[in-house]
Amino acid sequence: MPIVVFEPYLEGTQDEKQFRVMKDRERWFNVVMGERLELDEASTDRQELRAPFPSEAADVLAMDLSLAQVGASTAPRFDPPLPPKAQ
């Protein structure tokens, strides 16, 4: 017999907003990491045994999403296309 778990919140309150934000973050985590976020005891025990990701590699792979100052960076610039003008 399955165990049914409810995730209650009070509609129209900060509680609902926090619930929606956390669910959205979980979905983005799944997209970025390519796996489902599991926080049960067995999953976290397995994660604890993994080799730690080197901080030097994390620094190199991290994306810089800050706005570049003119003349402050030699990084290639990406200008997204502008939306079509309304007629």
Contacts of the segment 10-18: beta carbons below 8 A, 24+ positions apart:
none
pTM over cut 0.75: no
Measured between alpha carbons, how far is 80 from 66 in angstroms, rounded to an integer?
Answer: 15
In a domain, 23, yes or no: yes
In a domain, 85, yes or no: no
pLDDT, tens digit, 9 for 90 and up, residues 11-46:
888 888 888 888 888 888 888 877 777 778 888 888
In a domain, 77, yes or no: no
In a domain, 22, yes or no: yes
In a domain, 55, yes or no: no
**Per the structure, how many domains does the chain have?**
1
Structural domain that includes position 21: 11-48
